[in-house]
Amino acid sequence: MKINTGAEYIESLRKLNPKIYYKGKRIEDVTKHPATSPHVRAAAMTYALSNQKKYRDLATAISHLTRRRISRFTHVHQNVEDLIKKIKLLRILGQKTGTCFQRCVGFDGINAVYSVVFEIDQKHGTDYFERFKKWLRYIQDENLMVVGAMTDPKGDRSKGPTDQDDPDQYLHVVDRRDDGIVIRGAKLHMTGAINSHEILVMPTTALDENAKDYAIVGAIPIDAPGVTLIFGRQASDDRRDKREYIDVGKSKFGVVGGEAVIAFDDVFIPKDRVFIDGETSFTGILVYRFAAHHRANYGACKTGLMDVLTGAVSYLAQIQGTAKRSHIKDKVTEMIHLCETLYSSSIACSVEGCQTPSGAYMVDTMLANVCKQNVTRFHFEVARLATDIAGGFIATMPSEYDLKSEEVGHIVRKYFSGVSEIPVEDRIKIGRLIEAMTGGTAMVESMHGAGSPQAQRIMIFREGKLDEKIKLAKALANIPNKKKKEKKSD
Ligand SMILES: Cc1cc2nc3c(=O)[nH]c(=O)nc-3n(C[C@H](O)[C@H](O)[C@H](O)COP(=O)(O)OP(=O)(O)OC[C@H]3O[C@@H](n4cnc5c(N)ncnc54)[C@H](O)[C@@H]3O)c2cc1C
């Protein structure tokens, strides 16, 4: 692995020259800018763990392509054990950063594309698999961070890609040359984009055969000509601009993954970096596999965050003198129960994983969808319970400036204190941490990341094997299975 440590990762970003805007101005160095540096540090943790003896087995793997040791975030799952190790790794990273550490979207994209392009080659005699493996070897050897770029802007949601008034609402090919393709459009909500090395673009939905120009998978360097990024606004981000350390809640790491718009203004992708071009019939399975891998993660990374939140409210209850009250203990118990329930489904969909024709392993898709569907509820319930236990001060307390003020600091200290043994600063810091982890931008990812709740419900219903369940019921109720009448043809 060329980039071996967190510090080397941060250094590697300084060598890139992506065009990134934030609040109307260009960001020159994402590793130093107050809005982006917390996200850089969270992603750096994925590099740092590889070097810690305790986590090396989870954070790294042996490449099936080169037999060299690589970051697990660039690995193609070779067995069920790999799937389980990924889940364990994500929970630990969630616990250590308290936020999204951004590298799994590209990781899941790599795994989905790997298995699907193998099957395309089998059917069409194309050479996508070899092209993809060549690029993947590069990613593994260099240990690069990859944006998993699936979500298109989508414009009018009642219309498909080819029916939009503006064709750029879905990323598409505008020119095909002998040496490659030229693409135009955008991807929204791109986690970790401003601090990644490469973008892996994928279609956002299953496409029909009229939408060949939209059936594109390819890899693009983050600073390729024509690529522009606009970093998203987050709740309370002005607090970071002014470098407030207590009031941001988590000064070291971000609130969410640090999402950006990526606009592609006629970006050229050379042929050896194009992995799907026009094979519309495989877009459904690609989105389906990517989504399942990604949905499995949420019962791991988000449970890491819930561990932090549960710890935060438990300490706050001690500070406020409520820790021994029965309803507080019951609410903390419920938070733990919901968290472990989510983790169980992440582990379960990994244990039930199976091999695809390429040799790569897939999670159980039904259980992965159930996992993510529960995240859209349980994480919110955990946040609700945390807010209940915390009290109203997390929304109303004065700022860090007032705490440190010579004129009014004594008032803040006096009236925001809890039990006398614990300093008032602890209560304020923990309160701000809970505010950052339950409010504003923090929770939206649990609802819409890896697909809105309805996307999981569609898959759950589709994979619910209702015919088999009906047979089970009929067998027990002694109802014979009649053969279906054949339709008469006119
Ligand atoms: C923090 C965060 C990080 C993310 N990171 C990434 C990333 O790294 N890579 C990536 O590719 N994506 C990423 N996403 C995108 C995520 O996958 C999408 O937000 C999700 O798929 C929903 O798409 P949308 O936001 O466009 O919402 P919409 O698709 O507009 O959904 C909004 C609502 O409308 C409903 N709806 C939409 N269309 C229809 C329709 N045709 N018929 C009926 N109902 C409809 C939905 O069910 C939902 O209730 C991220 C999202 C978030 C919030």
d(CA 374, CA 299): 9
Check: CB of residue 207 under 8 Å from CB of residue 215.
yes
pLDDT at 484: 67
d(CA 467, CA 474): 11
Question: Residue 349: CB within 6 Å of ligand 1?
Answer: no
Portion of the chain with pLDDT greater than 90, in percent:
94
With a cut of 60, say whether residue 489 has pLDDT above it.
no
415: left (phi over 0), alpha (psi -120 to 50) or beta: alpha
* Residue from 186, 175, 121, 116 nearest 150 by CA: 186
With a cut of 70, say whether residue 485 has pLDDT above it.
no
* Residues with Cβ within 8 Å of residue 430, at least 6 apart in sequence: 312, 315, 316, 319
**Closest residue (by CA) to atom 45 of ligand 1?**
157
With a cut of 90, say whether residue 244 has pLDDT above it.
no
CA 434 – ligand 1 centroid, Å: 26
Q: Calculate mean pLDDT across residues 134-159.
A: 98
Question: Residue 449: CB within 6 Å of ligand 1?
Answer: yes
Model confidence over 427-442: pLDDT tens digits?
999 999 999 999 989 9
Check: CB of residue 109 under 8 Å from CB of residue 148.
yes
d(CA 37, CA 254): 8
Q: Give catalytic status of residue 349 as yes or no.
A: no
Closest ligand 1 atom to the C-alpha of 453? 47
Q: Calculate mean pLDDT across residues 184-209.
A: 98
Q: What are the structural domains of the chain?
A: 292-470 (1.20.140.10)
- In degrees to the nearest 10, what's the CA dihedral of 102, 92, 94, 221? -10
Q: What is the pTM of this model?
A: 0.96
CA 363 – ligand 1 centroid, Å: 22
Check: CB of residue 249 under 8 Å from CB of residue 438.
no
Opening angle at CA 108, ends 104 and 113, nearest 5: 150
Q: Calculate mean pLDDT across residues 389-408.
A: 97
Q: Which residues of 462-486 are buried (b: 16+ CB within 10 A; e: fewer)?
A: eeeeeeeeeeeeeeeeeeeeeeeee
Backbone angles phi, psi at 237, to 5 degrees: -70, -20
Opening angle at CA 132, ends 154 and 264, nearest 5: 35
Q: Calculate mean pLDDT across residues 383-409.
A: 97
Amino acid at 222: I
Q: Calculate mean pLDDT across residues 236-246.
A: 88
Check: CB of residue 229 under 8 Å from CB of residue 261.
yes
With a cut of 90, say whether residue 53 has pLDDT above it.
yes
Spot the catalytic one: 172, 189, 197, 294: 294
Model confidence over 295-307: pLDDT tens digits?
999 999 999 999 9
Model confidence over 246-296: pLDDT tens digits?
999 998 998 888 999 999 999 999 999 999 999 999 999 999 999 999 999
360: left (phi over 0), alpha (psi -120 to 50) or beta: beta
Question: Residue 189: CB within 6 Å of ligand 1?
Answer: yes
d(CA 383, CA 452): 19
With a cut of 70, say whether residue 373 has pLDDT above it.
yes
pLDDT at 149: 98
* Residues with Cβ within 8 Å of residue 372, at least 6 apart in sequence: 294, 295, 296, 298, 299, 450, 451, 456
What 8-state DSSP symbol labels residue 210? G
